Amino acid sequence: MQIVVAGVAGSGKTTVGRRLAAELGWAFVEGDDLHPPENVRKMRRGVPLTAADREPWLAALAGRLDELDAGAKSAVVACSALGRSFRRRLATGRPGLRLVWLDADPALLARRLRARRGHFFGPDLLASQIGAVEPPVHALRVDAARTPADIVAAIRRALGV
């Protein structure tokens, strides 16, 4: 099984994903680590990514999921997966993939991004992500304002893991 923890920047994908993977003893994949250097430079400058910019990142994510599938390894993946087409691309051919969407109020996201240090995605890009969201229909939706422990417990209960 692969669980994709998705949502807008600041929703807690990495925190929740790492904790969930640790509790389950599964691999953890940080989607941000798969961005090509050009994307990282662009975001550091406060420039939103285009669909074309995201293409190599999505290809890398899909490739990583393929590697995990080939090794029959369960994993938790943290990535934004803002658009339907992105989620569809990650899920195609992966019947064991489950999507968890972290719902968050924009004010909470902004506070978290302002407090975050050392990450290439700054608060000035938040509006572009919120504008790009196509909320998922078929996903486990969890309130990102809850504590990471509560979110992980809710995910485990709902998915039976």
For residue 128, what are the domain limits? 2-159
| Residue 101: both structure tokens together | 């969407």
Q: What angle do CA 64, 4, 116 make, to 5 degrees?
A: 95
> Is the Cβ–Cβ distance between 35 and 83 less than 8 Å?
no
pLDDT for the residue 122: 61
pLDDT band at 121 (very low <50, low <70, confident <90, very high): low
Rounded to whole angstroms, the Cα distance separating 62 from 37 reads 18
Instruction: Reply yes or no on whether the pLDDT at 9 is more than 90.
Output: no
For range 3-21, the mean pLDDT: 95
Give the relative orientation of helices 148-159 and 13-24 as an angle to the nearest 10 degrees: 60
**Highest-confidence range of 41-50, 115-124, 130-139, by mean pLDDT?**
130-139
Residue whose tokens read 């417990």:
153
Which of residues 148 and 111 earns the better pLDDT score? 148
Q: How many folded domains does the chain comprise?
A: 1
Burial (0-12, 13-18, 19+ Cβ within 10 Å), 95: exposed
pTM, entire model: 0.89
Largest CA distance in the chain: 41
Instruction: Reply yes or no on whether the pLDDT at 123 is more than 80.
Output: no
CATH number of residue 61's parent domain: 3.40.50.300
Strand partners, 102: 142
pLDDT for the residue 119: 63
> Is the Cβ–Cβ distance between 133 and 56 less than 8 Å?
no
pLDDT band at 110 (very low <50, low <70, confident <90, very high): confident
Instruction: Reply yes or no on whether the pLDDT at 41 is more than 70.
Output: yes
